[in-house]
Chain A
Amino acid sequence: MTIPPPTTSAQPEPQAATALRHKDLLGIADLTPEEIQLILNTAEAMKEIGLRTIKKVPALRGKTVVNLFFEPSTRTRTSFEIAEKRLSADTLNIAIASSSVVKGETLADTALTLEAMNPDMIVLRHSSSGAGHLLSRICKSSIINAGDGTHEHPTQALLDAYTIRGRKGRIAGLKVAIVGDLLHSRVLRSNVHLLTRLGAEVWVCGPPTLIPVGIASLGVKVTHRVDEAVEGADVIMLLRIQLERMQGAYFPSLREYFSVFGMTEARVRLAKDDVIIMHPGPMNRGVEIASEVADGPFSVILDQVANGVAVRMAVLYLLAGGVEQHEEAS
């Protein structure tokens, strides 16, 4: 299953699609480059709404969106909720601790129960990879994957791409270094699908214990030498190192991880002069990223958060049939 790496020579940006003809957004793997462009272009318009005095448009008026979160989440859930409210959707937050699900109702039954009340969309965060696929087979509602296990977190990758495009004007041909716990990261998988589709040169870096088998088949370059990954990079993206990973013998200590892979100012200097530093959060300062870098001039970490709302508005709008409705109306 070896897929040749995408060519990274300056290629034209793909044309945007005219509509997102999907019921669900389960992963970037299901999207074409043209559909990704459509979402990013739509997010531009959505961002403007967030800058108005009255930050609300009636696009999703009368639509019901359920935020169904089986894992604790502050930023993703909040971001979706703000996006939904700015589009005038009726929103409902359901947070279920996974432990109570083990004792009680199955995910399938929870989904059927919600479905019986006829929502339009379900935003799902779940600890099992593929949970969104299960829901999508059961529900008529659109399912938006807000993170499933270690599989995908598509809106995070979209907001990352939006942030990169905003800063660099393009994605094709950029060198992007992703450093951290690749194995357990859904953000990694979504970003690899997205960035390779749009023609970036993607390097992934971490200890061999934290690199998923087969990731190279997605057309990325894999290295264990962080200097090689960041050298000449346009974008450096850090992934969170979960503190409990030491118990799994993935690496000896946080101190050693930081000394071998931590993003320090010295390492950042190996990258391009206008490099941007990204992190999907939450950060472990002093583990995967030095505070000086997180708070430094190249950091766009808070831009990512801000852009998340616009990108999620775009996804909600497009999945609700936004463009097509608009065309019908005109």
Chain B
Amino acid sequence: MKRLLRGGRVVDPATGIDGHFDVLIDGDRIAKVGKDLPVDGAEVLEIPAGFIISPGLIDMHVHLREPGQEHKETVATGTSAAIAGGFTAVACMPNTTPINDNANVTSYILAKAREANLARVYPIGAVSRGSKGEFLADIADMRGAGCVALSDDGWPVRTALMMRRALEYAGMFGMPVIDHCEDPSLRADGVAHEGCCAGILGLKGIPAAAESIMAARDILLSEVTGSAVHIAHMSARTSLREVRKGKEVGIRVTCEVTPHHFTLTDDALAAPVPYDTNTKMNPPLREVADRDSMIAGIADGSIDAIATDHAPHHYDEKKVEFDQAPFGIVGLETAVSLTFDRLVHAGVIGLSRMVALLSTNPARILSIPGGTLAEGSLADITILAPDLKVRVAAASMRTRSKNMPFEGWELRGGVAATIVGGRTLYANPDAGLRI
């Protein structure tokens, strides 16, 4: 079956296309992008001129919680949240129960993804068995079963030796190691960014250096091994400095930043709700200079990707004392609006860069299909409404957990529709698109 998207502005950094073009979908593939394409029996979908036709967005850092923590999220609810957030694909972290450190768990996750049949799911396998940092996980097996990258996310790879071995071994398969950077001794039992806010609130601090020290170590190890390292959820300006230095000398380092780290600062610990456990995440919300540095890195290209670190937790788990609460917030359904509102409309980046951060670069870093509207590629398409008025409401979200600090926020820009493999899986009723 053929479908013709007509009228929107196509933004595809991978092919350098940016302008008003028609997009012809044939089955699950992009057939052609061009001016005034003949209808030729295709179903015509009229796209308003102000809307953006982007290659499907890819969130390279989510926690789908299945298997084992289905009270927080499942592959089905998580991928449903993904398409509502404009993401046609997600890469899910291995800290499930049990850990995704072997092909059985990988296959289980992929079976659940096929069953849900929503956003594409690319599992990330553990670096080490049980993510304990002692023995390498079954990397070749997991690669064979469908893992696209390796990470012990949630737990840093403690020793330099283990990280070196992981990089060397993963390099054989061309898999990047996604690095949760945090020196455990410096982090200790910290729960918030070490700074004025935590100091005054009496919360144990996590210094920025805990992240940057390990980022620096692993960038050096990437140089030693020649393998690609990707710094996950970077939050500190000193880490960005290490990434820039690494890139300057040609080390294969990339990095991502979450929407909450380019939006919020540690001031959120004290107000509007003091000790709100929805402001507790790891890495923690940093101080203004760090947040501003992340924005600068997004603007100048030293940051490669925006990823949500979507971390669902049941409300029971968050309705406790601040130091007892788990780290993390959900992000799949707010990422696009925060990116529009805080970056695009704020004049930090243009649309092309937004698409690069949310689609082109994640696809390239993970070496997965998608991230482009080139002829013959997957018909994974996100239609964006840059001026849509969005009011964030947990109650209307699809994710099973509602833990996030943006309730009631009014943002400009959102998702109009999400197309995966040529099928329209999500059309936002507020955007008024008939698709």
Interfacial residues, chain A to chain B (CB-CB below 8 A): 1, 29, 106-108, 126, 128-131, 133-134, 137, 148-152, 186, 189, 212-215, 217-218
Contact = CB atoms under 8 A, between A and B. Distances in A.
Interface of B: 194-205, 273-275, 287, 316, 319-324
Nearest to B320: A106
B199 A215 contact: yes
A217 B321 contact: no
B199 A214 contact: yes
Contacts, number: 71
Given A130-B275, A134-B275, A213-B194, A107 B200 contact: no
B93 to A, nearest CB: 27
B200 A214 contact: yes
Nearest to B323: A128
Nearest to B316: A106
Nearest to A189: B202
Find the residue from A150, A186, A213 having the highest chain B CB count within 10 A.
A213
Given A134-B275, A213-B194, A213-B205, A129 B322 contact: yes
Contacts of B199: 212-215
Contacts of A218: 200
Contact of B322 (A29, A128, A186): A128
Contacts of B319: 106, 108, 134
Nearest to A2: B196
Nearest to B269: A130
B196 to A, nearest CB: 3
Nearest to A217: B196
A213 B320 contact: no
A215 B323 CA distance: 20
Contacts of B201: 129-130, 151
16 contacts: A1-B287, A106-B316, A106-B320, A108-B319, A126-B321, A128-B322, A128-B323, A129-B202, A129-B203, A129-B275, A129-B323, A134-B320, A134-B322, A149-B202, A150-B204, A151-B202
Contacts of A108: 319-320
B57 to A, nearest CB: 35
Nearest to B265: A1
A131 B202 contact: no
Contact of B274 (A1, A133, A212): A133
Contact of B200 (A128, A131, A148, A189): A189
A186 B202 contact: yes
A148 B321 CA distance: 10
Contacts of A107: 320-321
Contacts of B196: 1, 213-214, 217
Given A214-B196, A214-B199, A214-B200, A130 B205 contact: no
